[in-house]
């Protein structure tokens, strides 16, 4: 496991500007690179290209999501990133929801063997 994608899912608010999340992501990236890992990152709020995000997920052995927990859920910008940003991954990230092939719901993904880690503050 050498390729790591860090996704900063913080959403700016005047009372929560995102400095803590940014510092955590920058520290992770620096420490990982210093220990021989290859790191790519996305700051959701700064925008992203959905096709590039799909490629990053395919490249990564581990995906780390760093975000604050808002009202028992993820920030809306991160939800949109997951819903719209990765929808273009049909045929690369997923082929169906799993039930089409007689499997269980959620088993139609193509990222078997990938590791996902969510870090909540």
pLDDT score at 29: 96
pLDDT score at 39: 98
Overall fold of domain 3-120: Rossmann fold (3.40.50)
pLDDT tens for the chain, 121 residues: list them. Answer: 799 999 999 887 787 787 888 999 999 999 999 999 999 999 999 999 999 999 999 999 999 999 887 777 888 899 999 888 787 888 888 777 777 777 777 776 777 777 766 665 5
CA separation for the pair 97, 14 (Å, rounded): 39
Assess contact for 105 and 92: CB atoms under 8 A.
no
The count of residues in the chain is 121
pLDDT score at 59: 94
Closest CA to 79 of 44, 118, 43: 44
pLDDT score at 120: 55
pLDDT score at 117: 65
Q: What are phi and psi of 9, to 5 degrees?
A: -100, 15
pLDDT score at 63: 92
pLDDT score at 64: 93
CB atoms within 10 A of CB 107: 15
- Cα separation values, 114 from 15, 70, 92, Å: 35, 26, 13
């Amino acid at each position: 496991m050498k390729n790591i994608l860090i996704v900063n899912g913080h959403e700016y608010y005047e009372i929560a500007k995102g400095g803590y999340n940014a510092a955590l992501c920058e520290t992770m990236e620096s420490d990982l690179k210093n220990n021989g890992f290859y790191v790519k990152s996305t700051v959701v709020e700064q925008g992203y290209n959905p096709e590039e995000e799909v490629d990053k997920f395919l490249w990564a052995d581990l995906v780390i999501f760093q975000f604050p927990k808002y009202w028992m859920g993820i920030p809306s910008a991160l939800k949109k990133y997951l819903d719209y940003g990765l929808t273009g991954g049909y045929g690369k990230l997923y082929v169906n929801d799993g039930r089409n092939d007689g499997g269980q719901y959620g088993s139609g993904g193509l990222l078997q063997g990938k590791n996902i880690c969510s870090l909540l503050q």
